[in-house]
Amino acid sequence: MTAASTDVSQALENDEAQLPLYINREQSLLEFNRRVLAQAKRTDIPLLERVKYLCISCSNMDEFFEVRLAGLYELTHVPGALTQPDDMEPAKAIETLSELAHEIVDDQYHTLNHVLVPELEKENIRFLRRNHWNDQHKEWIRNYFIESLQPVLSAVGLDPSHPFPKVLNKSLNFIVSLEGKDAFGRSNGLAIVPVPRSLPRIIKLPPEATDGENDFVFLSSMLHANVSLLFPGMTVTGCYQFRVTRNTNLFIDEEEVEDIMSALRGELSGRQYGGAIRLEVADNCPPHMVEYLLDRFNLDEKALYQVHGPVNLHRLNAVPDMANRPDLQFPPHQPKPMSTKSAPKKAFRLFTRHKQPETMFERIANKDILLHHPYDAFTPVVDFLKQASTDPDVLAIRMTLYRTGDRSPIIDALDKAAQNGKEVTAVVELRARFDEDNNILQATRLQDAGVHVVYGVVGYKTHAKMILVVRREQGKIRYYTHMGTGNYHQITTRFYSDFGLLTANQAIGRDASKVFQQLTSLGETKGLEVLLQSPFTLHSGMIERIQREAEHARQGKPARIIAKMNGLEEKEIIDALYEASQAGVQIDLIVRGICSLRPGVPGLSENIRVTSIIGRFLEHHRVYYFENDGKQPELYCASADWMKRNLLSRVETCFPVLDPACFQQVYTEGLAIYLQDNTGAWLLQPNGSYLHKETGDQEPFNAQQSLIEKYQS
């Protein structure tokens, strides 16, 4: 424990609650999911959007089990291992987290059955249960089963030559109890029916099948009603859905493998069959069959989740589109395109040859361009690359790729640039979780096009977001750079909040060039002028600035820290913030998800406030503001959160916002406006729980909605 940790531990000893110094990371993650689920209950949010929040909470829980809890189970096999940053024994953490997870899952199904379903029925959006089917429903459903489902279902009767099948991660399955003799005169008693992922999990009944405009039937209900057709000559005595969540963490000994792409391909093929972590079963499944399933998957009772409803609530995500009720959804949002008006011209112009429409390079040379997604369109970034791919003066393009999506125009532009003879380098991070397959495909395509592809650094994920274009102008080399807080994924830019900076600042360009050189040659990047970089200078740079604010406060000078990020759990950063709070620095942290810091503890963190914003868009930007005595405030945007992995074991970049207009825009739209929010804001309490921020006597104010209105005006 550091000296700072000792001091703050002594401060905590005087607190009646005797709270631990840090909040458990996974506990904080579950608290985040509580806040997401709470959105599904809010009557001021359109009804079908509330269904989506329920689905998001289900997807989040899936990832919690297959990644976070799975990681803790792995940790139990490491002698003396403790969780970080709270130093809890893994087995104890699993027990505590399992209790919290059961509470959240119970709340999810209560929200579905007692909140959303009744309100959807009022809007004539119905989920028809089997006991409510009329003859018209039954006939259509039976025909649909025979024609569309039965041909692709493969029931597996269990016997010595038909062992219990391998069950895919998160797949829908049924365990069926049987009586009578099979075709070979034997009594087996049990069968498993796996449901292919190609089948829809929820079906909207057509007009000829129902009188309702929006009547839906779950695939599981259809199968329950007609499962006997799969076992002719036998009697079905029970049919119960179940679902297994498995460990999806990949393990590659990067120091030992010669080709990380080949090794990763091999690991991905087995991801769907990792160790079982959770078993979901219908709540009417008999105890002896539940025990049978637990035994088959080598799970104990704390891993069992018996649910009243479909075992995968995420399947409801299809309903808003199928229902076709725009009045029950958020109004469509169209990102603002870049203005066609010319930017103010500098006194000195680098471009004098024509009066055609300005290129992206001319615009960026005139003035830094700040993009705020999803309010600004992502198109300028694509145009920047497209123009670079054909511009005769462009010599080289270098880019990091973490997530891009399918059929990406970014990949198209890099492909075209290579074909046009540009020197193109792509640093593709193959290990971007759950995007590994796509990244392998994109890397292969780029290699085939002649792009120089590297896969980052062994042991360090390349999470930085940057594009560098090297251009020859008037006989000199000039850099144009894009740096961002989010991925180059055209889909996620529509609902992730991120900043992107297009700049001709040559100091930023030179630094970016050094970072790219490091990623390809593995040489050192000494003497960066303005950028901070993980795993080298970003961690220490943030701590130095926090400590500087603390010293200014001790001297009676203006001291203030405002930081916005997705997660905060790095111990030394937290300790520095605790010390700054004790020195009198006023600190506002806007942390969407994980936060291991305890705010508002007397003698420790009473000057720290932590706000989490949950809204229509996923808050994703990382912005760090330091008052610096009020004389020269510093404002940074980054690809990195204040998490141990980001600061110490990834390649990340953190860039200063130097242009005064961009500085003010980032400060206002990325920080100040969120501190005013009193509708989507949640306040972290010292005990680790969150309270929804009340409007009180103030007018309701929603930061995201205010930005939508600002950009649409």
- Binding-site residue set for ATP: 60, 496, 592, 620
Q: What are 112's two structure tokens? A: 């579905």
Specify whether the CB–CB gap between 30 and 688 falls below 8 A. no
Residue positions forming the annotated binding site: 60, 403, 433, 496, 592, 620
CB count in 10 Å sphere of residue 354: 8
Are 67 and 433 contacting, i.e. CB atoms less than 8 angstroms apart?
yes
In the annotation, is 463 catalytic?
Answer: yes
DSSP labels, 132-186: G--HHHHHHHHHHIIIIIGGG---EE-BTTBPPPPPPTT--EEEEEEES--TTS-
- Burial annotation 51-83 (CB, 10 A radius, 16+ → b, else e): bbbbbbbbbbbbbbbbbbbbebbebeeeeeeeb
Q: Which of 156, 137, 322 is nearest to 225 (CA)?
A: 137
Residue 1 CB: number of other CB atoms within 10 A? Answer: 11
Question: Which of 137, 372, 463, 621 is flagged as catalytic?
Answer: 463
The three-class DSSP label of residue 473 is: strand
How many whole angstroms from its chain centre is CA 50? Answer: 19
Closest CA to 639 of 504, 453, 490, 482: 482
Distances (CA, A) of 435 to 277, 429, 455, 492, 572: 22, 10, 14, 13, 31
Say how far apart CA 658 and CA 481 lie, in whole Å: 14
Cβ count within 10 A of residue 89:
14
d(CA 311, CA 293): 15
Here the tokens at position 539 are: 């961690």
Burial of 426 (0-12, 13-18, 19+ CB in 10 A): buried
User: Are 500 and 654 a contacting pair, CB within 8 Å?
Assistant: no
**Which strands, in side-by-side order, build the sheet including 202-204?**
125-127, 214-218, 202-204
**Parallel/antiparallel/unpaired status of strands 608-613 and 156-157:** unpaired
Beta-bridge partner residues of 375: none
Helix axes 90-111, 25-39, angle to 10 degrees: 0
DSSP H or E stretch at residue 663: helix 660-667
Distance CA(710)–CA(64), nearest Å, equals 36
What is the CA 693 to chain-centroid distance, rounded?
A: 24
Please name which of 458, 483, 448, 455 lies closest in space to residue 469, comparing C-alpha atoms. Answer: 483
* Residue 524 half-sphere exposure toward CB, CA atoms < 13 A: 4
| Residue positions forming the annotated binding site for Mg(2+) | 403, 433
Cβ atoms of residues 535 and 518 within 8 Å? no
Inter-residue contact 153 to 195 (CB < 8 Å)? yes
DSSP string, 495-521: TEEEEEEEE--HHHHHHHHHHHHHHHH
The answer to whether the CB of 140 falls within 8 A of the CB of 208 is yes
Cβ 576 vs Cβ 597: under 8 Å:
no
Residues with a known catalytic role: 463
